[in-house]
């Protein structure tokens, strides 16, 4: 544990003035007990420092919090602090170092622990993640004083910890669309599941356990046997999302950047597809993550996908088309591409996918509106191209300005 000291200048000044005054008066009046008082005043600071120096106190701390959080949702953090020494640390204060992307929602950062008894205590506070990503907490600095309050002693405690903040999708939902596929379109018989759905499928004989509210009385009267109406529920077609993380293509900083807009759109499209029963496959130059909505544990797969979005950074040396060309996607894939710069090789790949019957949407994050330079536009039909500008902020008014773009051609 590193340790630093500083002197309380006001108290030190008062003690120094008192020593000079007592010594001067004792010298002028030759009063013995004033000499003694002057000596005692002179020894106060060395004694106070010596008490702590000869009987040092060591500090330890442990930070407890969840390993992952969601952008915009507050979370609690607990610091467990302890001190070991001959004298209790009666005036302990704690200063927790936090990044600008985590904002405190309660008291200031510098404060005393709750129920501190001189040797142990806890400090709890709430933060709100302002942006997705990997955020570092710490170090924790503790500060205390000697028994007389003349010297302050500070120390930085380890360890530094991290919180993975997942992007939060926009809450607005779009109308349900039909179709299903394992990252492609299946035939009609694979698009629906019989049971309690929304679309009429037919009439069948009554089976024990069927709801009487589904009895089809006209057929029952004609045949003399109970018959029930059967519906079908359409599944959402699975979605493939390709997010370009090529180094140097994204511009802006913090929330106001093409990368953060792209991640927000990807998270929203993935969330809405999963909500409607579809699967999602995410491709970036850093790898891929898949969610099969009909698997045994879709929530675990969802976590992995959003974890990959949380860690996404535009640092890739290779192009997105290199990653996509190595994949085997079925004809008829529903494909969404997010980019901030066009790529002729990617244009050729997309053209070939269109010839295979893919349903394609290309989100182009316009770098000019984010303060960057103009780039080559994606070479796809204009009807498939969606321009996203800085004014379409996902964070202002709950994504009100971005929502119309997400709804287009749906």
Q: What is the pLDDT of residue 408?
A: 59
Cα 333 to chain center, whole Å? 30
The reported pTM is 0.74
Across the range 163-184, mean pLDDT stands at 64
Q: What is the pLDDT of residue 164?
A: 96
pLDDT in tens, 86-105: 767 777 888 888 888 888 87
Q: How far apart are CA 82 and CA 89, in angstroms?
A: 10
* Highest-scoring range by mean pLDDT, 26-35, 167-176, 383-392: 383-392
Mean pLDDT across the stretch 21-41?
Answer: 82
Beta bridge partners of 50: none
DSSP state of 183: S
Question: Count H helices, E strands: the chain?
Answer: 8, 22
**What is the pLDDT of the chain when averaged over all its residues?**
82
Are 89 and 185 contacting, i.e. CB atoms less than 8 angstroms apart?
no
DSSP string for residues in 67-96: SEEETT--EEEEEEEEEESSS--TT-EEEE
Question: What's phi and psi for 295, nearest 5 deg?
Answer: -85, 180
Over residues 65-88, mean pLDDT:
88
Q: How confident is the model at residue 172 (pLDDT cuts 50, 70, 90)?
A: low
Where is 161: in which H helix or E strand? Answer: strand 161-166
114 DSSP assignment: B
Residue 188's pLDDT band (cuts 50, 70, 90):
very low
Residue 134 has pLDDT above 50, yes or no: yes
Q: pLDDT for 211-261, tens place per residue? A: 777 888 888 888 888 888 876 554 568 999 999 999 999 999 999 999 999
Q: Which residue has the higher pLDDT, 40 or 396?
A: 396
Q: What is the pLDDT of residue 18?
A: 81
Bridge partners, 79 (sequence order) = 63, 123
> How far is 334 from 226, CA to CA, in rounded Å?
42
What's the mean pLDDT in 18-35?
A: 83
Query: What is the secondary structure of 245-312 as a DSSP string?
Result: -BTTS--EETTEEHHHHHHHHHHHHHHHHHHTT--EEEEETTEEEEE-TTSS-HHHHHHHHHHHHHH-
CA nearest to 226, candidates 237, 236, 218:
218
| Pairing verdict, β 120-129 and 102-104 | antiparallel
If one compares 329 and 158, the residue with the highest pLDDT of the two is 329
For residue 56, what pLDDT band results from cuts at 50, 70 and 90?
low
Give per-residue pLDDT as tens, 266-276: 999 999 998 88
Cβ atoms within 10 Å of 306's Cβ, excluding its own: 27
Q: Compare 41 and 362 and report the one with higher pLDDT.
A: 362
């Amino acid at each position: 544990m590193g340790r630093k000291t500083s002197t309380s200048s006001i108290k030190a000044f008062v003690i120094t003035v008192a020593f000079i005054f007592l010594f001067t008066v004792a010298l002028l009046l030759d009063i013995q007990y004033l000499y003694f008082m002057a000596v005692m005043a002179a020894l106060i600071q060395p004694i106070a420092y010596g008490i702590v120096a000869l009987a040092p106190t060591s500090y330890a701390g442990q930070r407890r919090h969840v390993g992952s959080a969601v952008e915009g949702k507050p979370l609690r953090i607990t610091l467990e602090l302890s001190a070991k020494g001959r004298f209790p640390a009666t005036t302990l204060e704690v200063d927790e170092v936090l990044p600008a992307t985590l904002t405190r929602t309660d008291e200031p950062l510098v404060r005393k622990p709750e129920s501190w008894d001189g040797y142990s205590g806890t400090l709890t506070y709430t933060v709100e993640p302002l942006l997705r990503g990997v955020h570092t907490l710490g170090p924790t600095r503790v500060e205390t004083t000697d028994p007389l309050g003349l010297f302050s002693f500070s120390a930085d405690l380890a360890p530094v910890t991290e919180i993975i903040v997942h992007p939060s999708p926009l809450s607005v939902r779009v109308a349900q669309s039909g179709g299903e596929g394992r990252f492609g379109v299946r035939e009609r018989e694979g698009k629906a599941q019989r049971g309690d759905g929304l679309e009429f499928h037919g009439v069948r004989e009554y089976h024990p356990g069927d709801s009487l509210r589904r009895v089809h009385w006209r057929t029952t009267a004609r045949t003399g046997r109970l018959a029930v109406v059967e519906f079908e529920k359409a599944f959402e077609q699975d979605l493939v999302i390709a997010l370009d993380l090529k180094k140097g293509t994204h511009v802006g900083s913090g929330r106001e950047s093409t990368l953060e807009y792209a991640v927000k759109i990807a998270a929203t499209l993935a969330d809405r597809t999963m909500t409607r029963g579809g699967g999602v496959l995410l491709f970036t130059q850093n790898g891929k993550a898949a969610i099969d909505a009909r698997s045994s544990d879709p929530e675990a797969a969802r976590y992995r996908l959003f974890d990959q979005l949380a860690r996404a950074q535009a640092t890739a040396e290779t192009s997105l088309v290199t990653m996509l060309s190595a994949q085997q996607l079925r004809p008829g894939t529903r494909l969404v591409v997010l980019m901030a710069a066009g790529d002729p090789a990617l244009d050729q790949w997309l053209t070939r996918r269109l010839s295979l019957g893919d349903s394609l949407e290309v989100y182009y994050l316009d770098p000019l509106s984010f303060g960057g330079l103009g780039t080559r536009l994606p070479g796809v039909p204009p009807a498939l191209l969606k321009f996203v500008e800085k004014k379409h902020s996902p964070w202002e008014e709950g994504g009100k300005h971005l929502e119309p773009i997400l709804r287009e051609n749906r």
